[in-house]
Structure 1
Amino acid sequence: MSKPRLYTLLSLLVLLVIGLGYGWLGDAPAPAPAPSHGYTKALTMAHEGQPGAARVLYQQLARADLSGIRRASLHAELPNYPSPLALKLADQDLSHDDPLVRRAAIASISALVPAPQRSVLLGPMLEDPEQSVRFAAVDALLGLGPDDVGLYYGPLQQALEQYQQALLKQLDDAAAQVHLARLYVHEGHDDEAAQALERALTLAPDDLEALAAKVRLLDSQGHADASRELLAQALKRHPDSAFLQHELGLWLMRHDQHEYALLAFDRALALDPDNAEYRYTLALTLHSLEQVEVAQKQLETLLARQPANRKARVLLIGYWKETGQLQNVQVLLAQLEQQNPDDPLVQQGL
């Protein structure tokens, strides 16, 4: 066969293969449709407490193609949308390949599950191959009594000791030393906790977290005057610190000076009006002083700014029930049902 004829035949064969290829592609099944709401939309809906937020949040967490950072971001919103499915999705992510996702799932479960039942789900994570995951599980289980920890008491103590040893190697990190102090306090080792806080304050004399931790430690040891003086000195250096004003309010609450605590909490909120936790604490204090209507208004303001804040919504529902304003309760429950029809509070109803 001459070369021109050979080249012509080869060209025809190539065209035939290409044509068959297009035919196979045309007969191939269409790719599965993408979720009706994308990741960004779902995250926005969940963060803003929009109607349908839970459904699209669960939908995104059910995907297998999300990056670790995206799954972790979704988990940050999940505690506002509790349900059996939410817990199932969080539990599944305890086995995710990415340690970031496993840590995020631990945080979700910590918020979704009452403390006494937490160890059943999180106990196995104390033996996770990744150190940071084991330590996240320790943080989630701190404060539980031996009966609540149950079979995981031994692994918890072992992981706690590893955690302490790791933090002891970070003597030049003030935040690590504050965290170490917290672990020591949990175990009742106040002297070691005090030493860790002194190291933190030596490294960063104006570290407000370390200062507040030392105030709380001194107070718990019965050194009320010393703790008050330390807090007063810190406030003198940082008079516009909302954080320290809030700590002052907590100190006054511990010493049954609720009226003065109210002033401190109010001042903290004035300095940081977008802080949801400060507004929530102020509402609780107002309610304890039988200023129920003002407490309700604070929670209404909080929900107007953060409709997804379930903790504030649940508290306000309770306050409305106390005052017999069931129509307001129905409104809040209806909004909650729009966000998450499977919320246990919606299922429970009035």
Structure 2
Amino acid sequence: MAFVLAILIFIPILASQFLRSPVLIEPIAVPEALAERGMTSEVVASRLWDGLRDANALARTSKASVDAIPNSQRVQFSVPDVGLSMDSIVRQTRRFFNVYETRIAGEFVCSDAACAPEGMALRLRVLRGTSEVIDLPPVGQQNLRQYFTGAAIQILSILDPFVAVSAISETEPVRATALARRLIRQHHPDAKWAHNLIGNLRSTAEDYRPALAEYRAALALDPQFTIAQANAARALRQLGDPVASRAEYDLIRARLPQSPEVQEGYAELAIGAGDIDAAVEYLKRAAELDPTSPHYFARIGEVEMARGNIDQAKDWFTRSLAIDPAYPLALSPMFTLLAAGMDLGGGEALLRRAADFEPQSAEVQALHGAALTFLDRPAEALAAFDRALAITPDNAELLYQSANMLQNLDRQADAVDRLNRAIALDPYNPAPIFSRGTSLAITGHNAEARADFQRVLELDTSGTQYGSMATSFIDILDGLDAAEAAESAAP
């Protein structure tokens, strides 16, 4: 009886393991020089695992994606004294039926014996019966986390193309649209998600009629696709058709009576009709249905602020930030209200809590740096900007802002280095060129400073402050040159 019971338990477990198809990340081969610095094979596999999670976070989609895990993190069951393991049985069964599990393998290659980080390049193989090779460029000046996220997006482009497309949609909307169209033409199983993504990109560009057409196309593939239907209702409202919009929300409510998104939709329709009190009640109901979301409290705060109830708006923003101290729809207006009331210390404390809560958000770290700049605390502001740059090292605006803090700390050489990077990334922006000119002038490099100020005059055709200040600096340099010439000519 015990044997029969064991078999009855073992068979469903075996079946579930066979049907479940996680993506296994094998240890990534690394050169010895890299392993000596702590980047072992298992560490690189774990970094790639982190990259897959970051890529899924960038995609911001509710669609389920691949289930990946490093081979070293997998729990394996074995039968004592027999030498058999659940993993080996499942693997042999898969091979018998020619159903191969998906594995990711590869190696890090160095460009020289020292294995300098900027010369490292990753080659990956996605193995699932066949082998597909991914060659990534050298790491260069990229942050390692960004590098592994980029590698993960390349992997997802093979294993889950829609999620890969969604992950680049914010930074590369044109490319994302073209790739989503390709999925649709291929009649990919995720074609409905591709239509919905294109609709979202059109909505972001305030091109609502084509967006509505995409949502309708998604619903033609799956009439029960609630996300697309809610987006269609929103697009109809933005196109000025509240009756059709409400009809869509009513259909969703009939299917999902506890949907907070429907209550929010009704609230937006009430705002459009001028019934603000009803809108607030709808949003309160949405907050009750989804008590862990900071969004609905923040939206009530926005509504109250729009009708001049500043104290009530602050209360609602505070309730939103109690759930998520870094929620942008509450954080930004709350900081604005505090700053308008000349409570810069309170605003800085608000942003400090947000930065501590969301250390991987470059936007929040940068906002905290800006607040510290207003308070004339350059060393702390520089540290905040540095935290933001650790996340997005190629952000020209952050490089410029942090360079200004270095100038305030009289670290002109370091400021010039950062400004050089900012100018390389944004060569037609006069602001970092002007700042570099001031640092060069302070350190006595007058010829290079003059060249920068002349370049500012070429770029600043609109007559902003940079042009007038560049002219003033050129006049000062001319005076210094004239004085030096006169002193040299004196007997």
Structure number with greater CO (CA < 8 Å, separation at least 6) is 1
| 170-179 vs 317-326, which moves further | 170-179
2:198 partner letter: A
1:129 to 169, 179, 183: 183
**Aligned-partner Cα distance in 1 for 2:391–2:378:** 20
2:331 to 245, 263, 280: 280
Name 1:143's counterpart in structure 2.
Answer: 204
2:321 partner letter: L
Name 1:71's counterpart in structure 2.
Answer: none
The answer to whether residue 258 in structure 2 is matched with residue 206 in structure 1 is yes
Name 1:347's counterpart in structure 2.
Answer: 399
Residues 107 and 140 in structure 1, CA contact (< 8 A), matched pair in contact too? no
Name 2:164's counterpart in structure 1.
Answer: 104
The answer to whether residue 386 in structure 2 is matched with residue 326 in structure 1 is no
Residues 296 and 316 in structure 1, CA contact (< 8 A), matched pair in contact too? yes
Residues 218 and 228 in structure 2, CA contact (< 8 A), matched pair in contact too? no
Residues 216 and 232 in structure 2, CA contact (< 8 A), matched pair in contact too? yes
TM-score (norm 1): 0.62
Residues 178 and 289 of structure 1: CA distance in aligned 2, closer, same or farther (over 3 Å): farther
Identity of matched residues, %? 14
CA RMSD of aligned residues (A): 4.3
**Aligned-partner Cα distance in 1 for 2:356–2:242:** 42
**Aligned-partner Cα distance in 1 for 2:285–2:205:** 34
**Aligned-partner Cα distance in 1 for 2:143–2:324:** 27
Larger radius of gyration between Structure 1 and Structure 2 = 2
**Aligned-partner Cα distance in 1 for 2:352–2:217:** 46
Residues 180 and 195 in structure 2, CA contact (< 8 A), matched pair in contact too? yes
Shift of 1:241: 7.1
Shift of 1:226: 3.3
Residues 218 and 227 in structure 1, CA contact (< 8 A), matched pair in contact too? yes
**Aligned-partner Cα distance in 1 for 2:168–2:274:** 35
Shift of 1:165: 4.0
Q: Normalized per residue, which structure has more helix?
A: 1
The answer to whether residue 120 in structure 2 is matched with residue 65 in structure 1 is no
**Superposition pairs of residues 27-66 of structure 1, within 5 angstroms:** 33=30, 36=39, 37-41=43-47, 44=50, 63-65=123-125
**Superposition pairs of residues 2-13 of structure 1, within 5 angstroms:** none
**Aligned-partner Cα distance in 2 for 1:145–1:219:** 19
Please give the per-residue CA displacement for 1:234-268, whole angstroms capped at 9, x wherever unaligned. 66888897543333212213323232111012123
Name 1:244's counterpart in structure 2.
Answer: 296
Shift of 1:233: 5.7
Residues 313 and 263 of structure 1: CA distance in aligned 2, closer, same or farther (over 3 Å): same
Residues 344 and 237 of structure 1: CA distance in aligned 2, closer, same or farther (over 3 Å): closer
Q: Normalized per residue, which structure has more strand?
A: 2
2:267 to 215, 240, 257: 215
Residues 269 and 278 in structure 1, CA contact (< 8 A), matched pair in contact too? no
**Aligned-partner Cα distance in 2 for 1:326–1:94:** 42
**Aligned-partner Cα distance in 1 for 2:288–2:363:** 33
**Aligned-partner Cα distance in 2 for 1:235–1:32:** 49
